[in-house]
Amino acid sequence: MGKIVLPLEREDLKERVGCAYVLDDSDGRRACGAPRRLASSYCPQHHALCYIVSGSKAEFKRLREVELLASAVGGRRARQGAGPSLQFLKRLEQAVRGSS
């Protein structure tokens, strides 16, 4: 069996010491670079933005939003069309307002 070789431009996570969260600056995009949280690619502040705690109220709210959106667009059986109808946009707006 052959050896797996990673591309050269990819760094090993153990060698990366700074937060990998991408910031948009006036100079362009750059990584945050702050010290990372243990077992994460991000600093504590950006880790909290990127992850939802399993079983938390935030997770329940996010899953409810996803369910409402899927219901509004017709789930897996949605029709292919040129764009969203006015009726769809109204239903979507009502679903989002109702979940807040």
Same domain, 66 and 47: no
**10-residue mean pLDDT series, the chain (100 residues):** 48 66 82 90 91 90 86 65 75 77
Identify the pLDDT of residue 79.
57
Token digits of residue 98? 């109702």
* 71 and 92 assigned to the same domain: yes
Same domain, 36 and 16: yes
Q: Are residues 40 and 71 in the same domain?
A: no
* pTM attached to this predicted model: 0.45
- Asked if residue 72 is part of any domain, the answer here is yes
How high is the pLDDT of residue 19? 92
The answer for 59, left when phi > 0, alpha when psi is -120 to 50, beta otherwise, is alpha
Report pLDDT for 3.
56
Same domain, 63 and 90: yes
Do both 17 and 39 map to the same domain? Answer: yes
Domain count across the chain:
2
Domain with 28 in it: 11-51
The answer on 44 and 20 residing in a single domain is yes
Tell me: do 62 and 47 sit in the same domain: no
Same domain, 83 and 62: yes
The alpha carbon torsion through 50, 53, 56, 57 (nearest 10 deg) reads 0
Residue 36: what pLDDT? Answer: 92
